């Protein structure tokens, strides 16, 4: 199933192009444990059974909770499973996120993630945000040190511009970028293009968001009907078709939704359908103005 999404190399890591994000496995506001802890573990195990190879998490999810769930469900990790985590936020409370990119903090969070995940080396360690209060070069330098020491295999970034990517690449190899991007929100098109040019993986977060494009009778709904698919599956199929470096990581706490998302790897958009969906935002804007 998931293997039909194709494969991608993130530096030394090779994974299928449809991963799993763990943010929704925590409590409300991405805070505290889930109501059904065993249910969350079952979702993680089933994701691996369906062919998912990249599990994306973060120390700030819970905080700590999502990483603990990953270890509880999957450790010792099966061959081919790659764990990506992130650092760079503090969590004062539910729904609250504060950037913290001090090198000592990033190092401490990396050490904590290694313990929580039960790893000797993190496959992909991502800077969750660039802290505007700390020189960016110091944050990139901290990632380089962790990589040089063998605590992380590869380095990634999140919510960055092309200019910031270039600044980071001058300090440390970067194999992935995780930015907000989906069929309705394409503000990071220039970053996607840069990633394509430099063979850097692009991991879109909120990959299923589709806004007015998914309204009943709208463009996504129509294509979904033609393919006997769901709106979510069409959104994922569009992302996979959009770029060979695209690696969506849809998350869910539902086994049914997990199965649905993974089945998107089998959806094939025709050239006409892909173009219709790509151009759909223009028609939605015209529709909104006319309304």
Q: What is the rounded radius of gyration, in angstroms, for the C-alpha atoms of the chain?
A: 19
Q: How far apart are CA 87 and CA 125, in angstroms?
A: 8
- Quick check: is 61 catalytic? yes
Q: Single out the residue of 35, 17, 91 nearest to residue 61, CA to CA.
A: 91
Residue among 61, 77, 105, 194 flagged as catalytic: 61
Annotated catalytic sites, by residue? 61
């Amino acid at each position: 199933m998931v293997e039909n999404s194709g494969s991608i190399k993130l530096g030394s890591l090779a994974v299928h192009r449809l991963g799993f994000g763990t943010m929704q496995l925590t409590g409300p506001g991405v805070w505290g444990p889930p109501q059904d802890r065993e249910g969350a573990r079952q979702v993680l195990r089933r994701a691996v059974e369906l062919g998912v190879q990249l599990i994306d998490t973060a120390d700030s999810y819970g905080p700590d909770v999502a990483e603990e769930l990953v270890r509880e469900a999957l450790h010792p990790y099966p061959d081919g499973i790659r764990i990506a985590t992130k650092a760079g936020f503090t969590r004062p409370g539910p729904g609250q996120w504060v950037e913290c990119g001090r090198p000592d903090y990033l190092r401490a969070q990396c050490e904590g993630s290694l313990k929580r995940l039960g790893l000797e080396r993190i496959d992909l360690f991502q800077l969750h945000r660039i802290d505007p209060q700390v020189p960016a070069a110091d944050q990139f330098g901290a990632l380089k040190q962790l990589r040089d020491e063998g605590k992380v295999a590869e380095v990634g970034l999140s919510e960055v511009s092309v200019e910031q990517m270039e600044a980071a690449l001058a300090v440390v190899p970067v194999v992935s970028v995780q930015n907000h991007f989906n069929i309705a929100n394409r503000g990071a098109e220039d970053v996607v293009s840069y990633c394509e040019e430099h063979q850097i993986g692009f991991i879109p977060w909120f990959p299923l968001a589709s806004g007015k494009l998914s309204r009943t009778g709208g463009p996504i709904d129509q294509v979904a009907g033609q393919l006997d698919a769901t709106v979510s599956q069409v959104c994922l199929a569009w992302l996979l078709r959009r770029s060979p470096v695209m690696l969506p990581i849809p998350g869910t706490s539902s086994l049914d939704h997990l199965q649905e998302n993974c089945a998107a790897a089998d959806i094939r958009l025709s050239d006409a359908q892909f173009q219709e969906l790509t151009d759909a935002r223009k028609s939605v804007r015209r529709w909104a103005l006319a309304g």
